[in-house]
Amino acid sequence: MSSNWKESYTGKLRAIVGNQKLIIPSIRAVIYDDKNRILFIERRGNGKWALPTGGIELNESIFECLQREVREETGLDVIHATLIAMYTGENYSVKNRFGDEYQGFELLFRVDTWTGTIVQTTDETTNIGFFALDDLPPFETGYWENHEKEVLEDLIDFKGTPIMK
C-alpha cells in the first residue's frame, strides 16, 4: 500500500473521473488510552483535528484498512477492534477542499487492543494526542465537525449492536 495519495486507489480514480462523486469505503478509528481519553490526530493537509480515518485500497480487507490507516497516522498497531457504526447514503455526502465529491460509506471502529508507540508526526499528521470527552480539540467546521460529534455520540450510545445510518 502506498502512502502517496496520487498512487492510492482513490488518487488513481480521481485522475480518471475528476471531481465527480465517488463512493469509497473508509474507516474511522476510536482509540482510548488507560485514562479513557480518545486519540486525535492533527491533519497535515489542513491543520484540523480528527479521529484517524482513511479509505480502503484495492485487495485490502476492511480490517487491513483499519490497521494500515491507524499505523500510518499514529504508529500504533491494531490487534482487535469492534464495529460501532456504519454511515452511508446522501446524508454523508461531502465535497472536499479540492472540489472532489464523495458519498459516505464509513465504518466506525473502537480499537479494543493495540500495541506500539505513538508517533507525533507522520506524512499525514503534524500532531497527535489523547483528549477527554469534555476537552476535545477543535474540529474542522461544517460537515466534519458535525460528523465527529455524531461519531462520538454514537460511540457513547453503542450497546453492542452496530448502529446503521
C-alpha cell at 115: 500495541
pLDDT at 3: 60
**Residue among 78, 57, 60, 70 nearest 28 (CA):** 70
pLDDT digits (tens, 9 = 90+) for 4-39: 878 888 999 999 999 999 999 999 999 999 999 999
pLDDT at 2: 45
Tell me how long the chain is: 165
**Percent helix, percent strand, percent coil in the chain, to nearest 5:** 25, 40, 35
CATH number at 155 reads: 3.90.79.10
91 lies in some domain? no
Positions of the chain with pLDDT lower than 70, given as ranges: 1-3
**Residue among 159, 105, 130 nearest 52 (CA):** 130
- The amino acid that residue 128 corresponds to is I
DSSP-derived pairing of the beta strands 163-164 and 77-95: parallel
39 lies in some domain? yes
**Residue among 114, 141, 134 nearest 52 (CA):** 114
Range of the domain at 149: 26-82+107-164
4 lies in some domain? no
97 lies in some domain? no
